[in-house]
Amino acid sequence: MPDYTTASLDFCHCLQDLVLETRPQRVLETGTFVGAGTTFAIAQGFAHNSDNGYAHLWAIEAHPDNAQTTRAFLRCRKLDGDVTVMEGFSVPKRMIPGKRKIKQILKERPKWARIDNREELAADGYYRELHFQEELKERVDYDGEPLKYCLISECRKLAEQPFELIVLDSCGVTGWAEFQYLMETGILWEARNLAIDDLFHVKHWKTFEYIKERIGDDFDFKELCPPKYVPSKSHQVHSGFCIVDINWKKNIGRKGS
């Protein structure tokens, strides 16, 4: 495996082990970034399960530069046939938080929910991650193509059947919005497993609390890894992760929370 820069190495190993063990044929991932982390781990798992027949990953990445890099990364490793990189936002436009909402999310977070900078700087950083359209328009290579939304639902249509595994790893503060949208559409309740990276980060703290309240009923933890400090040049703190079993039989046909 390569030197992962965004997803933790432990999470990528656990995710690949899960793919090898459960042999899913349809996987959804949000927050692909440049494809060298969880996307690569899942695609490699597919390659090792070559006798599993057709298996495919739908990977959502909002920023066009990152999406293009991901496609090139996978193509160089001859893994692009098993992955469709979807360029745009995973949720409806109404669910993308603006600056006021981002500041509210940061203010309401518990002390254990990590942010990437001081609160006043983090809000601006998360806003720029989600609202990069104006920056794109100023570039000479911008083709003017409008950004797409609701790609979680679009991926479900393309898959034609339920996803067996859903991986949430988007940037900024969109984690709870994605989880809500998965519940609203019923796509979450069709799945067998849910994997979340940066679990103790501000983007996922509400999702974590929701899952904990329903352990033994709707969910069970398969893996739960707390945050840990990883000595490196950048002094990274990996914000933990979890892999959850979903009681999909109980929730067949269910929508909403």
Predicted confidence (pLDDT) per residue in 171-208, tens digit: 889 999 999 999 999 999 999 999 999 999 999 999 99
Q: Are 211 and 244 in contact (CB under 8 A)?
A: yes
- Characterize the bridge pairing of strands 236-238 and 193-197: unpaired
**The residue to which tokens 């067998």 are assigned:** 192
Q: Are 91 and 177 in contact (CB under 8 A)?
A: yes
Could you give the count of Cα atoms lying within 13 Å of 225 in the half-sphere of its Cβ? 23
Predicted confidence (pLDDT) per residue in 65-112, tens digit: 999 999 999 999 999 999 999 999 999 999 999 999 999 999 999 999
Report residue 239 as tokens: 């914000």
**The residue to which tokens 């436009």 are assigned:** 93
Predicted confidence (pLDDT) per residue in 236-250, tens digit: 567 899 999 999 777
Ranges of beta strands (E only) in the chain are 26-30, 56-61, 83-87, 165-168, 193-197, 219-225, 228-230, 236-238, 241-246
Closest to 243 (Cα-Cα) out of 188, 168, 186: 168
**The residue to which tokens 């001081």 are assigned:** 118
Report residue 136 as tokens: 């794109």
* Cα distances (angstroms) measured from residue 30 to each of 58, 132, 141, 250: 9, 18, 26, 25
CA-derived radius of gyration, the chain: 17
Closest to 156 (Cα-Cα) out of 190, 179, 195: 190
Which residue has better confidence, 250 or 132? Answer: 132
- In degrees and rounded to multiples of 5, residue 115 shows phi and psi of -120, 165
**The residue to which tokens 């914000």 are assigned:** 239
Q: Are 25 and 54 in contact (CB under 8 A)?
A: yes
Predicted confidence (pLDDT) per residue in 221-236, tens digit: 999 998 876 554 444 5
All structural domains of the chain: 9-246 (3.40.50.150)
Encoded amino acid at 228, one letter: K
Report residue 110 as tokens: 């518990």
As a whole number of angstroms, the distance between CA 225 and CA 202 comes to 16
As a whole number of angstroms, the distance between CA 97 and CA 32 comes to 20
pLDDT band of 134, cuts 50, 70, 90: confident
pTM, rounded to two decimals = 0.92
Query: pLDDT over 90 for what percent of the chain?
Result: 76
Predicted confidence (pLDDT) per residue in 23-55, tens digit: 999 999 999 999 999 999 999 999 998 776 789
Closest to 239 (Cα-Cα) out of 12, 68, 7, 23: 7
